[in-house]
Structure 1
Amino acid sequence: MSADTRLEELGVSGLGDVDEPAFSGLAERHRRELHVHCYRMLGSFEDAEDTVQETFLRAWRRRETFEGRSTFRAWLYRIATNACLDLLAKRRPEPATGGEVLWLQPYPDRLLDELPAGDADEPETVAVARETIELAYLVAVQHLAPRPRAVLILRDVLGWPAKDVAELLGDSVNSVNSALQRARAGMREHLPAERQDWTGGEEDTGTRELVRRYTDLSVATDIDGIAALLRDDVRCSMPPTPGLHIGRDAVVNDWIESGFEGMKHLRAVLTSVNRQPAVAFYLWRKREGAYLPLTIDVLRITGGAITEIVTFHDDRFPRLGLPERLPPDGNG
């Protein structure tokens, strides 16, 4: 049942006649998809949360402007997009540069599962929904200027007609089409040319085995073993810590310099974020008598090799629904 049908059931002709509890009920139905939309625009889980709250506040205050020419859902998307653009203008006047995004945060799959299911009869639609939430896409889109970024997401991800995007942004259709061409060109600069080279797609048996080997070798701090799993042009980053390492040698050298080989008593929990396999590592802390959160590695796997590792700090564990600690296993 759509939110617009609910309006009819409430016996009102527009949102101006809806009280606040009823309005909140209508808006909440779209919270998760709006949050994912804002996350694509902003790259930050927390900024997306703030922007959705701002969206609902603006929508309530401007409810009388809803004239029913578009769906309630589309009206909320318009407000959310403009809220994102306002935040970007205020907090990040310049897009990302250099291939890394310091404000990037992971998105838990358990929350992505709350999104409306894609049409199984349209595999291309399902693939786009999956690919455009993966970290490779998020990093690439953050390199676009805000308005072309909005055009790209509205047109290529949400499938909006150019005239609707033009109306939202206050531009002409020609301007929107030009911005879309620039945005697509910008994305090509930061994503491999072929889809299969930048997304692992659905997880298969080979992928699961590779993740298991990576996990076991990491717990054993076997750098040589891990290096054998990496593609020659592997990329490694750790937002918000600056530094993008490209190539197997550069990545391995960084691990050696950081003292990874001397790190003992690790445990790991397999998980998934952004529709990608991930491994949460815990380090034994004698004083606390438990394994406590350390880092989360999100893997991109292509052709049987690890092509990218994005590592997040321990402050992301609560958002991802991971345990706060693991009990002793007799090896501590």
Structure 2
Amino acid sequence: MSDALPITAADVKVPEVNVPDAALPKAGNRALKKFLASKAAIFGGLVVLVFVAVAILAPLIATDDPLKTSFLTIRKAPSLANYFGTDELGRDIFSRMAFGARASLLAGVVSVAIAVIVGVPLGILAGFFGGWTDMAISRVADALLSIPFLILAIALAAFLGPSLTNAMIAIGFSQTPIFIRLARAQTLSVKSEDYVEGAEAIGLPNRWILIRYVFPNILPPLIVQATLTIATAIIAEASLSFLGLGQQPPDPSWGSMLNTAKNYMGQAPWMSIFPGIAIFLLVLGFNLLGDGLRDALDPRQS
């Protein structure tokens, strides 16, 4: 009877388990067609683009220096010389609104970026690992969510001190719990999918699974939430500036312009009308854009 030959590791063939590429979100034409078919979403996107263009081109389209005062043109009504009239110091309101758009858009985008950068990783960790990690992160998020958003933002801004930068930080951290909860819920849903379980079964590192398979599949609802949250952040920045906790005079801000205009509602109503309309339109634009993205990216929508 002959001796059996030894079996080496090279002779053993382990069946390869592939995680399907279908696990990764594919940017198909269907979502784009659904988005373009929504007139409301297109209108919202155009409104946002107009305000972005105004903010970028403010030095070119401004009819005057937004900080220049003139006692000869105090509270002048709208005219060809001053499209939106002048304020209590004779400053051109159109020019101040054009530069003020920068503060509103910057506050909206930066504050939401802070909330996403801080909240999404924490939410993913809570949903993926569970246990004490989930409990600790979720309890902190729940505690912050129990405080009204604007009250929390005002408290943080007052603690940090009045400035646009501090206002953006305050708004961002006040919105962080929203993204923690959303990222956690989406991660729990994706975690139970076959492709994630398959990746865990073949021993892929957790970091690779989170980056390769979890994060891309929770991205669409995060994009929608971020777009809608920008609208909330713009209102919050205007509120903080109105209270003197945001952009500081003499730099223009729509909120601070409304604060000044409240004393001249009868004599110069245009001082409050135009900043109010601008805030309304920009917030409406982001809301319509977010609704359109939600309908286009949500697979449950027909």
- TM-score category (smaller protein): under 0.3
Specify the structure having the higher radius of gyration (Cα): 2
Q: Pick the structure with more strand per residue.
A: 1
Greater relative CO, 1 or 2 (CA 8 Å, sep 6+): 2
Q: TM-score, normalised by structure 1?
A: 0.24
